[in-house]
Amino acid sequence: MLDQIVFYFFAALAVISAVLVVTRRNIVQSAIFLITALLATAGIFLQLHAEFLFIVQVILYAGGIMVLFVFVIMLINLDVSLHQVQFNRQWWLGLVLALALGAQLTVAIAVGRSGLPLGEPAPATMLEPSTELVGKVLFSEYMLPFEIASILLLVAMIGAVVMAKKKV
Amino acid sequence: MIPTSHYLFLSLGLFTVGVIGVVTRRNVIIILMSIELMLNAVNINLVAFSRLVGSAEGHVFAIFIITDAAAEAAVGLGIIIAFFRNRETLLGDEMDLLKW
């Protein structure tokens, strides 16, 4: 019962703030609602017994990435963009196509639900020391992808510095 | 007990909202934020399936996706700053230097 209350609360919070991110005129308000959506997702991770991902989501996503966003919003001129048209000329076409994609995926899940073994999840104790299990998998089977990810981060860091330099 | 399909529907909803943001908004920063929303929706899917089968591999893939999101945000915002310095605009449909 408590499980369900927690899940539906965070799910509603995530969807509502996601819609607000997309529809707000002011970029700062969008950023704040994006933080809410990311924190609600963190709550769903916790409800799914993914404690390590919960902490990573809060620190890295809601902390690090959003600080980056807010910093860039501070650096650029805000007043001009407030008085511009917010949606592009073909917004209705994009909206229809996106909703069609959503409907298609809904039908796919609704139809495939009976075929997939989506029934009773494995007992929560199987993921018990979550951080330890993630560490074991990450540093044994996924060692090479882990190293590649570190190279990716290095490249992204250099790229960001080069992009933001005074003279490109 | 919440069935896994409910997580799939939640993830689907968030993903669709992200797609709508990407295809309808003009502001590039909002487009980047919508991409973050879509990546986040995928993470919910991965963690829900990880819980279903009782293995930690979905968590590992979610961590990789978060790493990618961080890299993408850093480079994307760097491009936005460079673009804003040159063209004094934030609108995606005015980024047409390759069009003629």
Complex confidence, ipTM:
0.91
Q: How close, in Å, is residue B32 to chain A by CA atoms?
A: 9
Of A52, A81, A149, the CB nearest to B67: A149
CA distance B12 to A101: 10
Largest CA distance in chain B: 57
Q: What is the amino acid identity at position B39?
A: L
Q: How far apart are the first and last CA of chain B?
A: 57
SS3 label, residue A86: coil
Class of the domain covering B4-89? mainly alpha
How confident is the prediction along chain A (168 residues), in pLDDT tens digits per residue? 888 899 999 999 999 999 999 998 888 899 999 999 999 999 999 998 888 999 999 999 888 999 999 988 888 866 777 777 778 788 889 899 999 999 999 999 888 877 776 666 666 666 777 888 888 989 999 999 999 999 999 999 998 888 878 765
HSE, side-chain direction, 13 A CA sphere, residue B17: 25
CB atoms within 10 A of CB B46: 21
Q: State the smallest CA–CA distance between residue B28 and chain A in angstroms.
A: 10
The token duo for B3 is 């069935």
Q: B87 touching A, CB under 8 A? A: no
pLDDT at B95: 79
Q: Which of B52, B53, B50 is nearest to B61 (CA)?
A: B50
Look at residue A118 in the predicted model and tell me its pLDDT. Answer: 62
Q: Strand, helix or coil at A1?
A: coil
pLDDT of residue A143: 93
List the CATH code of the domain at A1-79: 1.20.120.1200
Q: pTM for this one?
A: 0.90
pLDDT tier at B72 (50, 70, 90 boundaries)? very high
